[in-house]
Structure 1
């Protein structure tokens, strides 16, 4: 089984198998620190037999958060820095206690930071490469969200950009000192680094905009600065969107940006997709019935086709694909296609935390039964009146609630097809 084979990253980190617990929003840190719930929840995943465990979004500044319950990186100048580092160390230790390496996903939400999330003044403008508002849809409620919840961002100055680079460095150093094995830069899902990469949100005409190469410069600076501030074996990966027409990037422009990232020395690239304007990443797309044909299995992953395009152009870069995988056969088909090296699994890990050990890598389970398909969550009637971000976010909130259950020492509710009923 290819899924069970170990994989060594360029930095020297060895993963015991190819199944990764993908980054998921926990939204359970009201003080923005990894309190006692985090070691408890992650200790459950530590028992699961994953090849790699990724944390949820860790925001590089408390000023701008993606949600009020996000963890954030404390400034080294704060009085509470040492105590916070102890919390991070406990989190890292619990997550890796059974030998699975863990890395921290670092992020800055940019213009996707809602009002009230973060320590900034309520009406302070979000930061973005350019002063371009989110386009959340044509309805009145969509306009309200765009104008009043997120607002029109202000274009970042070069000093702002330099500050963000240092924030990512501070996050990487905190992760390393706590004992995590690396970081992943979140440059997907419409967050700040993705905003810089996309011509639809980056209208700059300076060194950080105007061409595909200039739009990726911020990421390259962050990578270089993290490498200079951490030990050689520290892993640096990145999450990128597949080609999104709404971003304005063409396939060739995206592949040009990938080329520069690869040449800068990335350890792996995770392929995902979506943004608040097109929230693919928040939606559950359960397979209606078990797939059997090779053609059907190839469609199980949302983003494998783009990954195969990256593989064709850059045959040696390690690729992880996240989104849509629900069967062992589909995962094996993706790996055997050469389109990816690692399989990222998100929401099923919140309701079946031991899924590698108990199901996917368990040779006593036949392929036909190695199935992680989840039930469709029932939506309250009023969700049809809400915007697409709110509707998709309700699904994410449900699965974050399962992480919270683990953080409280409770078992998550197994919502696989045919297992149990769901109440939301």
Structure 2
């Protein structure tokens, strides 16, 4: 074994590499076989304007199922059909009947390793991954048209506050025009939302509960509520998107909306007692905008913001209903969670998760902490809810190598380690890590234990070292086109909004997920622009009984028609 591989194993000690594969128990009593979690990713796999899981989902999740992950969390499943993100989201059926449940039941069986015959004979003796369905609502981040509404119909949100109209921009001669251009792009893509009424809120809570019932009836082990990345639940928590003065105000009851969803799920008569319930929180929502660039060298967030974040973690834990809290960050206004570039915010996530773990560990199980109350924090009846210990902390973001994963455990930043993009670059990471530990002298073991997975070159891609002449020609044509576009854009007096640039990164990983589903390797020669084209020029797999009319509707032709329609509407508006 080389010295570097030995260092990785020895320096991380008992709470290091080996502990990554050690089991851990949830407050519900159920346990994971290891601490590696394939977290939710934006997939863009469903039919246009949303639909159930399809063959592409099944093939993709089969790869992850065979990878020996402790837990696999699906991409976001929208609870409302008219509040999608970019049009190809999975959707919770409006009515839970057998026909609507069947595709989700198949997805759960695939994750559990029951839907496909594994190519690995030893997999029959391994414990299956835990399957978690992520539930989401886009709120004000639901795009025009693609969000599932008629053109320029306004989405629902806690308050009528527009998205991204005053972005932070670098100082310079292009700044003012860049801000105007960014405002224009955001105004075109996202309408000023409508404030939700009490009736809207009650209906949305029922939709989240229906999503949890769908998961339970489909055979999923639990759900994760997406309260991060600026989606609806996060919008209720954040002061930049919620200025309500009623019982859902940020000042008095920032977690009331989330608490009602959690309580509603736990109160269902048909919900299993050991059903896993997780919450994905957004660490960056707890950093005041003017202070974003004033973090200390150690990544320490401002004290007031940190205390507010930790108080929310503590309050969620006090409900005794949540099994894990995932720490993430970023939203459509601050698109760091879409970017490949490391930032000071990553240090903030680690600090936040470490302090959250300390807060939760201090609240160890005791007679008092196991006390069962019939009245919840916000007055709801919780008599049917069983008490639980403090939730586990799942840290996601920035993991590119095994040493980083081991370091997070060694420094007690988290109980669970989330891999998003890493799970695309290496779908069978847990299995490869287990094999490396059993034979550390192997060359492949050396690589998995010591090396970081490369990041994509989103500007020009990476020149292919091997491949057909067609692949090489395609790379040269794409790189030439991108270079020409960048040269021309540099002559213009505006800069691209951060969201546009970050979107190319998202598109690249979407394309690589499709390659993973097809059994192909990651293609680093694909550029960001090439990925955007490939992402949109895609048709979902044919469903049983689907007509040719539906196939055309789901094709790129419709995407082009939508673009033309928006162009005509915009042209008419500018002429007024």
Q: Same fold (TM over 0.5)?
A: yes
Asked whether the equivalents of residues 319 and 340 of structure 1 are also in contact (C-alpha less than 8 Å), the reply is: yes
- Match of residue 290 from structure 1: none
Query: In structure 2, the residue corresponding to 1:215 is in which secondary structure?
Result: coil
Q: How does 1:40-189 map to 2 (within 5 A)?
A: 40-76=59-95, 81-97=97-113, 99-135=128-164, 137=167, 139-189=179-229
Answer 1 or 2: which has greater helix percent.
2
Asked whether the equivalents of residues 433 and 448 of structure 2 are also in contact (C-alpha less than 8 Å), the reply is: no
TM-score normalized with structure 2 length: 0.66
Find the aligned partners of 1:228 and 1:164 in 2 and give their Cα distance: 16
Alignment of 1:391 with 2:501, yes or no, is: yes
Query: What per-residue deviation string (whole Å, max 9, x for no partner) do you get for residues 351-403 of structure 1?
Result: 32111211476313248844342233232455774321111011111111122
Query: In structure 1, the residue corresponding to 2:76 is in which secondary structure?
Result: strand
Query: What per-residue deviation string (whole Å, max 9, x for no partner) do you get for residues 140-162 of structure 1?
Result: 33112222211111111111111
* Count of aligned residue pairs for this structure pair: 404
Q: 1:210 Cα deviation (Å)?
A: 4.3
Query: In structure 1, the residue corresponding to 2:253 is in which secondary structure?
Result: helix
Structure 2: tracts of 5 or more residues without a match? 1-17, 114-122, 168-177, 292-303, 362-389, 460-481, 490-494, 531-576
Query: What per-residue deviation string (whole Å, max 9, x for no partner) do you get for residues 251-273 of structure 1?
Result: 22222222221111210000000
Structure 1: tracts of 5 or more residues without a match? 288-297, 416-420
- Match of residue 338 from structure 2: 282
Shift of the 247–146 alpha-carbon distance from structure 1 to 2, 3 Å rule, reads farther
Shift of the 209–223 alpha-carbon distance from structure 1 to 2, 3 Å rule, reads same
Query: In structure 1, the residue corresponding to 2:278 is in which secondary structure?
Result: strand
Moved more, 217-226 or 361-370: 361-370
Asked whether the equivalents of residues 181 and 235 of structure 1 are also in contact (C-alpha less than 8 Å), the reply is: yes
Asked whether the equivalents of residues 60 and 167 of structure 1 are also in contact (C-alpha less than 8 Å), the reply is: yes
Find the aligned partners of 1:247 and 1:237 in 2 and give their Cα distance: 31
Shift of the 369–389 alpha-carbon distance from structure 1 to 2, 3 Å rule, reads same
Alignment of 1:246 with 2:260, yes or no, is: no
Query: What per-residue deviation string (whole Å, max 9, x for no partner) do you get for residues 101-133 of structure 1?
Result: 110111101100110123322221111111111
Alignment of 1:328 with 2:328, yes or no, is: no
Which of 246, 256, 266 is the equivalent residue of 1:227?
A: 266
Q: 1:314 Cα deviation (Å)?
A: 2.1
Alignment of 1:340 with 2:398, yes or no, is: no
Q: How does 1:17-32 map to 2 (within 5 A)?
A: 17-30=34-47, 31-32=50-51
- Match of residue 413 from structure 1: 522
Find the aligned partners of 1:304 and 1:414 in 2 and give their Cα distance: 30
Moved more, 244-253 or 254-263: 244-253
Find the aligned partners of 1:308 and 1:197 in 2 and give their Cα distance: 21
Query: In structure 2, the residue corresponding to 1:219 is in which secondary structure?
Result: helix
- Match of residue 358 from structure 2: 312
- Match of residue 8 from structure 1: 25
Shift of the 404–84 alpha-carbon distance from structure 1 to 2, 3 Å rule, reads farther
Which of 302, 311, 322 is the equivalent residue of 1:266?
A: 322
Find the aligned partners of 1:251 and 1:299 in 2 and give their Cα distance: 13
Asked whether the equivalents of residues 21 and 430 of structure 2 are also in contact (C-alpha less than 8 Å), the reply is: no
Shift of the 49–76 alpha-carbon distance from structure 1 to 2, 3 Å rule, reads same
Shift of the 367–397 alpha-carbon distance from structure 1 to 2, 3 Å rule, reads closer
Which of 410, 415, 423 is the equivalent residue of 1:349?
A: 423
Alignment of 1:303 with 2:349, yes or no, is: yes
